[in-house]
Amino acid sequence: MLAEKITYPQYRKYPNNKSYFKIISPEKFEEIQVLGNTKTLHTFEAKILPDRNYISDLTFNYKEHWVVCEKSEYEKLKTANLIIK
């Protein structure tokens, strides 16, 4: 099986617009969670296999749970009154 070529970063979001993801590498991503007017940024680095599988699904098998998000949409949220955790 040939590995799919991917260019990072990749951007995804939930269809309900409550979480936005920037996939930085096969082992790291950022998530912006939106709750009302509050936007919280979480940085996540995979340390165990289930975490790597989650990032792989975000990257390659996203169509059942996530949709593609534009970089501009993600960056606009990231610059607007963000709480960093």
pLDDT in tens, 10-68: 999 999 999 999 999 999 999 999 998 889 999 999 999 999 999 999 999 899 999 99
Domain assignment of residue 40, yes or no = yes
Q: Does residue 14 lie in a domain region?
A: no
Q: CA 83 to CA 85: how far, in whole Å?
A: 7
The answer as to whether 31 is a domain residue is yes
Q: Any residues with CB less than 8 A from the CB of 40 and at least 6 apart, and which?
A: 32, 33, 82, 83, 84, 85
Containing structural domain, residue 72: 22-84
Number of domains within the chain: 1
Instruction: Identify whether 67 is part of a domain.
Output: yes
pTM, 2 dp: 0.88
Decide if 72 is inside a domain. Answer: yes
13 within some domain = no
Q: How confident is the model at residue 3 (pLDDT cuts 50, 70, 90)?
A: low
